[in-house]
Amino acid sequence: MKTFRDKLCLVTGAASGIGRATAVALGRRGARLCLTDLDGEGLLESRRLAEAAGGRVVACQALDITDEQAVLAFAAGIRQAETAVDMVLNIAGISTWGTIDSLESRHWRQLVEVNLMGPVHVLRAFVPAMIAARRGGHVVNVSSAAGLFGLPWHAAYSATKFGLRGISEVLRFDLRHHGIGVSLVCPGAVDTGLVRTINIVGIDRDDARVQALTRRFQRHAVSPERAAEAILKGVRRNRYMVFTSADVRIGYWFQRKFAWPYEMAMRLLSGKVFALAARVKDERG
Protein backbone atom coordinates (compact mmCIF):
# COMPACT_ATOMS: atom_id res chain seq x y z
CA MET A 1 0.00 0.00 0.00
CA LYS A 2 2.01 2.92 -1.33
CA THR A 3 -0.68 5.53 -0.84
CA PHE A 4 -3.51 5.99 1.65
CA ARG A 5 -5.60 8.41 -0.41
CA ASP A 6 -9.18 7.16 -0.68
CA LYS A 7 -8.27 3.91 1.07
CA LEU A 8 -10.80 2.72 3.63
CA CYS A 9 -8.95 2.25 6.91
CA LEU A 10 -10.34 0.79 10.14
CA VAL A 11 -8.71 2.13 13.31
CA THR A 12 -9.53 0.63 16.71
CA GLY A 13 -8.56 2.48 19.88
CA ALA A 14 -9.10 5.68 17.91
CA ALA A 15 -10.23 7.86 20.83
CA SER A 16 -6.76 8.65 22.16
CA GLY A 17 -3.03 7.97 22.05
CA ILE A 18 -1.56 6.14 19.09
CA GLY A 19 -5.02 5.35 17.72
CA ARG A 20 -6.06 8.99 17.53
CA ALA A 21 -2.69 10.07 16.13
CA THR A 22 -2.89 7.38 13.45
CA ALA A 23 -6.44 8.36 12.49
CA VAL A 24 -5.37 12.00 12.12
CA ALA A 25 -2.24 11.04 10.15
CA LEU A 26 -4.36 8.94 7.79
CA GLY A 27 -6.85 11.79 7.46
CA ARG A 28 -4.02 14.10 6.50
CA ARG A 29 -3.18 11.69 3.68
CA GLY A 30 -6.73 11.66 2.34
CA ALA A 31 -7.86 8.30 3.71
CA ARG A 32 -11.44 7.31 4.38
CA LEU A 33 -11.84 6.20 7.96
CA CYS A 34 -13.81 3.78 10.09
CA LEU A 35 -13.16 4.64 13.72
CA THR A 36 -14.06 2.82 16.90
CA ASP A 37 -13.22 2.92 20.60
CA LEU A 38 -14.89 2.28 23.93
CA ASP A 39 -14.62 6.00 24.79
CA GLY A 40 -17.47 7.69 22.91
CA GLU A 41 -16.53 11.28 23.76
CA GLY A 42 -12.90 10.82 22.84
CA LEU A 43 -13.96 9.11 19.63
CA LEU A 44 -16.03 12.11 18.55
CA GLU A 45 -13.06 14.42 19.16
CA SER A 46 -10.85 12.12 17.09
CA ARG A 47 -13.41 12.24 14.30
CA ARG A 48 -13.35 16.02 14.38
CA LEU A 49 -9.55 16.10 14.27
CA ALA A 50 -9.31 13.55 11.46
CA GLU A 51 -11.85 15.41 9.35
CA ALA A 52 -10.12 18.73 10.03
CA ALA A 53 -6.91 17.13 8.77
CA GLY A 54 -8.59 16.24 5.47
CA GLY A 55 -9.94 12.75 6.08
CA ARG A 56 -13.45 11.50 5.48
CA VAL A 57 -14.99 9.48 8.33
CA VAL A 58 -17.49 7.04 6.86
CA ALA A 59 -18.16 5.12 10.08
CA CYS A 60 -17.65 6.09 13.73
CA GLN A 61 -19.05 3.95 16.51
CA ALA A 62 -18.26 3.51 20.18
CA LEU A 63 -18.08 -0.19 21.00
CA ASP A 64 -16.26 -2.74 23.11
CA ILE A 65 -13.99 -4.95 21.00
CA THR A 66 -14.38 -7.73 23.57
CA ASP A 67 -18.03 -7.94 22.43
CA GLU A 68 -17.74 -10.15 19.35
CA GLN A 69 -21.32 -9.56 18.22
CA ALA A 70 -20.90 -5.78 18.39
CA VAL A 71 -17.74 -5.99 16.27
CA LEU A 72 -19.45 -8.25 13.73
CA ALA A 73 -22.42 -5.89 13.51
CA PHE A 74 -20.11 -2.91 13.00
CA ALA A 75 -18.32 -4.76 10.19
CA ALA A 76 -21.60 -5.80 8.58
CA GLY A 77 -22.79 -2.20 8.48
CA ILE A 78 -19.60 -1.12 6.75
CA ARG A 79 -19.77 -3.96 4.21
CA GLN A 80 -23.25 -2.90 3.13
CA ALA A 81 -21.81 0.30 1.69
CA GLU A 82 -18.14 -0.46 1.11
CA THR A 83 -17.75 -4.24 0.50
CA ALA A 84 -14.44 -4.36 2.40
CA VAL A 85 -11.92 -2.15 4.13
CA ASP A 86 -8.43 -1.75 2.67
CA MET A 87 -6.56 -1.67 5.96
CA VAL A 88 -7.22 -2.95 9.49
CA LEU A 89 -5.30 -1.27 12.30
CA ASN A 90 -5.66 -3.13 15.61
CA ILE A 91 -4.47 -0.45 18.03
CA ALA A 92 -6.90 -0.71 20.96
CA GLY A 93 -5.43 -2.18 24.13
CA ILE A 94 -5.00 -1.87 27.88
CA SER A 95 -2.07 -2.41 30.21
CA THR A 96 -1.87 -3.95 33.68
CA TRP A 97 1.44 -4.80 35.36
CA GLY A 98 2.19 -6.72 38.49
CA THR A 99 4.14 -9.56 40.05
CA ILE A 100 2.81 -13.10 39.86
CA ASP A 101 1.86 -13.00 43.55
CA SER A 102 -0.08 -9.74 43.07
CA LEU A 103 -1.95 -10.38 39.83
CA GLU A 104 -5.37 -11.96 40.20
CA SER A 105 -7.20 -14.10 37.66
CA ARG A 106 -9.43 -11.16 36.77
CA HIS A 107 -6.39 -9.14 35.68
CA TRP A 108 -5.23 -11.93 33.37
CA ARG A 109 -8.70 -12.46 31.93
CA GLN A 110 -9.28 -8.76 31.25
CA LEU A 111 -5.96 -8.44 29.43
CA VAL A 112 -6.64 -11.54 27.35
CA GLU A 113 -10.15 -10.35 26.46
CA VAL A 114 -9.05 -6.84 25.39
CA ASN A 115 -5.53 -7.30 24.04
CA LEU A 116 -5.84 -10.71 22.43
CA MET A 117 -9.46 -11.68 21.82
CA GLY A 118 -10.38 -8.09 20.90
CA PRO A 119 -7.99 -8.06 17.90
CA VAL A 120 -9.10 -11.60 17.03
CA HIS A 121 -12.73 -10.42 16.87
CA VAL A 122 -11.69 -7.54 14.60
CA LEU A 123 -9.63 -9.78 12.33
CA ARG A 124 -12.45 -12.31 12.01
CA ALA A 125 -14.97 -9.58 11.27
CA PHE A 126 -12.99 -7.68 8.63
CA VAL A 127 -10.26 -9.79 7.02
CA PRO A 128 -12.46 -12.42 5.28
CA ALA A 129 -14.17 -9.62 3.34
CA MET A 130 -10.75 -8.23 2.37
CA ILE A 131 -9.80 -11.65 1.01
CA ALA A 132 -13.07 -11.98 -0.90
CA ALA A 133 -12.71 -8.49 -2.40
CA ARG A 134 -9.37 -9.45 -3.99
CA ARG A 135 -8.02 -5.91 -3.70
CA GLY A 136 -5.12 -6.77 -1.40
CA GLY A 137 -4.67 -4.47 1.58
CA HIS A 138 -2.84 -4.43 4.88
CA VAL A 139 -3.27 -5.57 8.48
CA VAL A 140 -1.54 -3.77 11.34
CA ASN A 141 -1.40 -5.36 14.78
CA VAL A 142 0.06 -3.24 17.58
CA SER A 143 1.96 -5.43 20.00
CA SER A 144 4.60 -3.94 22.31
CA ALA A 145 8.22 -4.13 23.35
CA ALA A 146 6.68 -6.46 25.95
CA GLY A 147 5.86 -8.75 23.04
CA LEU A 148 9.60 -9.09 22.41
CA PHE A 149 11.27 -8.92 25.81
CA GLY A 150 10.64 -10.38 29.26
CA LEU A 151 10.19 -7.06 31.04
CA PRO A 152 9.68 -6.94 34.83
CA TRP A 153 6.08 -7.02 36.11
CA HIS A 154 4.80 -7.72 32.57
CA ALA A 155 3.85 -11.42 32.76
CA ALA A 156 0.13 -11.00 32.07
CA TYR A 157 0.56 -8.11 29.65
CA SER A 158 3.33 -9.93 27.78
CA ALA A 159 1.18 -13.05 27.50
CA THR A 160 -1.27 -11.09 25.36
CA LYS A 161 1.33 -9.18 23.36
CA PHE A 162 3.39 -12.29 22.62
CA GLY A 163 0.11 -13.93 21.59
CA LEU A 164 -0.67 -11.14 19.14
CA ARG A 165 2.85 -11.43 17.82
CA GLY A 166 2.28 -15.14 17.17
CA ILE A 167 -0.98 -14.46 15.34
CA SER A 168 0.75 -11.85 13.20
CA GLU A 169 3.64 -14.20 12.38
CA VAL A 170 1.19 -16.74 10.97
CA LEU A 171 -0.94 -14.18 9.12
CA ARG A 172 2.20 -12.69 7.62
CA PHE A 173 2.52 -15.82 5.50
CA ASP A 174 -1.14 -16.86 5.22
CA LEU A 175 -2.37 -13.50 3.91
CA ARG A 176 0.55 -13.05 1.52
CA HIS A 177 -1.27 -15.33 -0.92
CA HIS A 178 -4.11 -12.79 -1.04
CA GLY A 179 -1.89 -9.75 -1.54
CA ILE A 180 -2.52 -8.58 2.03
CA GLY A 181 0.50 -7.33 3.92
CA VAL A 182 0.92 -7.67 7.69
CA SER A 183 2.83 -5.37 10.03
CA LEU A 184 3.56 -6.09 13.68
CA VAL A 185 4.16 -2.83 15.55
CA CYS A 186 6.30 -3.06 18.68
CA PRO A 187 6.28 0.33 20.41
CA GLY A 188 8.59 1.09 23.27
CA ALA A 189 7.87 4.09 25.45
CA VAL A 190 5.07 6.22 23.99
CA ASP A 191 3.82 9.20 25.99
CA THR A 192 0.08 8.56 26.04
CA GLY A 193 -2.50 8.91 28.80
CA LEU A 194 -1.92 5.23 29.52
CA VAL A 195 1.42 6.11 31.13
CA ARG A 196 -0.31 8.14 33.82
CA THR A 197 -3.20 5.73 34.42
CA ILE A 198 -1.58 2.33 34.03
CA ASN A 199 -2.66 -0.19 36.64
CA ILE A 200 0.33 -1.56 38.58
CA VAL A 201 -1.14 -4.16 40.92
CA GLY A 202 0.24 -4.11 44.45
CA ILE A 203 2.28 -0.95 43.91
CA ASP A 204 1.45 2.51 45.23
CA ARG A 205 1.66 4.80 42.19
CA ASP A 206 1.90 7.82 44.50
CA ASP A 207 5.16 6.60 45.97
CA ALA A 208 7.91 9.11 45.08
CA ARG A 209 10.20 6.43 43.68
CA VAL A 210 7.50 5.00 41.44
CA GLN A 211 6.66 8.49 40.21
CA ALA A 212 10.34 9.11 39.50
CA LEU A 213 10.42 5.90 37.45
CA THR A 214 7.33 7.07 35.54
CA ARG A 215 8.93 10.44 34.81
CA ARG A 216 12.07 8.72 33.56
CA PHE A 217 9.90 6.60 31.26
CA GLN A 218 8.19 9.72 29.90
CA ARG A 219 11.51 11.47 29.22
CA HIS A 220 12.47 8.62 26.89
CA ALA A 221 9.01 8.28 25.37
CA VAL A 222 8.14 9.29 21.82
CA SER A 223 4.95 11.15 21.03
CA PRO A 224 1.87 9.33 19.70
CA GLU A 225 2.26 11.36 16.51
CA ARG A 226 5.77 10.05 15.96
CA ALA A 227 4.58 6.50 16.61
CA ALA A 228 1.77 6.97 14.06
CA GLU A 229 4.22 8.19 11.43
CA ALA A 230 6.42 5.14 12.04
CA ILE A 231 3.41 2.85 11.57
CA LEU A 232 2.38 4.41 8.26
CA LYS A 233 5.96 4.41 7.02
CA GLY A 234 6.18 0.72 7.85
CA VAL A 235 2.96 -0.01 5.95
CA ARG A 236 4.14 1.92 2.88
CA ARG A 237 7.35 -0.10 2.85
CA ASN A 238 5.49 -3.34 3.58
CA ARG A 239 7.63 -4.02 6.64
CA TYR A 240 6.66 -6.82 8.96
CA MET A 241 8.43 -5.59 12.10
CA VAL A 242 7.77 -1.91 12.79
CA PHE A 243 9.52 -0.09 15.62
CA THR A 244 8.54 3.35 16.88
CA SER A 245 11.89 4.05 18.56
CA ALA A 246 15.51 3.07 18.04
CA ASP A 247 15.96 1.55 21.50
CA VAL A 248 13.49 -1.27 20.83
CA ARG A 249 14.95 -1.92 17.38
CA ILE A 250 18.46 -2.15 18.86
CA GLY A 251 17.24 -4.27 21.77
CA TYR A 252 15.56 -6.74 19.42
CA TRP A 253 18.74 -7.01 17.34
CA PHE A 254 20.81 -7.44 20.50
CA GLN A 255 18.46 -10.12 21.82
CA ARG A 256 18.81 -12.21 18.67
CA LYS A 257 22.55 -11.72 18.16
CA PHE A 258 23.72 -11.88 21.76
CA ALA A 259 21.41 -14.19 23.66
CA TRP A 260 23.61 -14.64 26.76
CA PRO A 261 24.34 -10.90 27.37
CA TYR A 262 20.63 -10.21 26.79
CA GLU A 263 19.70 -12.70 29.51
CA MET A 264 22.22 -11.13 31.90
CA ALA A 265 20.87 -7.64 31.15
CA MET A 266 17.29 -8.74 31.77
CA ARG A 267 18.28 -10.44 35.04
CA LEU A 268 19.97 -7.23 36.20
CA LEU A 269 16.97 -5.09 35.24
CA SER A 270 14.57 -7.51 36.91
CA GLY A 271 16.66 -7.53 40.08
CA LYS A 272 16.66 -3.76 40.36
CA VAL A 273 12.93 -3.43 39.79
CA PHE A 274 12.18 -6.32 42.16
CA ALA A 275 14.23 -4.65 44.87
CA LEU A 276 12.31 -1.39 44.40
CA ALA A 277 8.96 -3.20 44.60
CA ALA A 278 10.02 -5.05 47.73
CA ARG A 279 11.03 -1.83 49.50
CA VAL A 280 7.78 -0.09 48.58
CA LYS A 281 5.73 -3.06 49.79
CA ASP A 282 7.66 -3.35 53.04
CA GLU A 283 7.17 0.31 53.84
CA ARG A 284 3.44 0.00 53.20
CA GLY A 285 3.31 -2.89 55.66
Q: What is the mean pLDDT of residues 108-113?
A: 98
Residue 274 is predicted with a pLDDT of 64
Strands of 87-90's sheet in order across: 56-62, 32-37, 8-12, 87-90, 137-142, 180-186, 241-243
In a domain, 67, yes or no: yes
Q: Quick check: is 3 in a domain?
A: no
- Ranges 115-119, 149-153, 279-283: which has the least confidence: 279-283
Enter the pTM of the model.
0.86
Which of 60-64, 159-163, 218-222 is least confident? 218-222
For the chain, how many structural domains are there in total?
1
Establish if 1 belongs to a structural domain: no
What's residue 195's pLDDT? 59
Residues 102, 51: contact at Cβ < 8 Å?
Answer: no
Classify residue 251: in a domain, yes or no. Answer: yes
DSSP code of residue 10:
E
Residues 225-280 have pLDDT tens digits of 999 999 999 999 999 999 999 989 998 898 888 878 877 877 787 677 767 766 77
In a domain, 2, yes or no: no
| Catalytically annotated residue among 157, 240, 252, 262 | 157
- Which helix (H) or strand (E) element contains residue 89? strand 87-90
pLDDT in tens, 201-217: 877 767 777 677 666 66
Specify the amino acid at residue 32: R
Q: Dump the DSSP string for 256-280.
A: HH-HHHHHHHHHHHHHHHHHHHHHH
User: Which range marks the domain in which residue 228 is found?
Assistant: 8-284
What's the CATH number where 220 sits? 3.40.50.720
Q: What is the pLDDT of residue 201?
A: 87
User: Is 262 tagged catalytic?
Assistant: no
Question: End-to-end alpha-carbon separation of the chain, Å?
Answer: 56
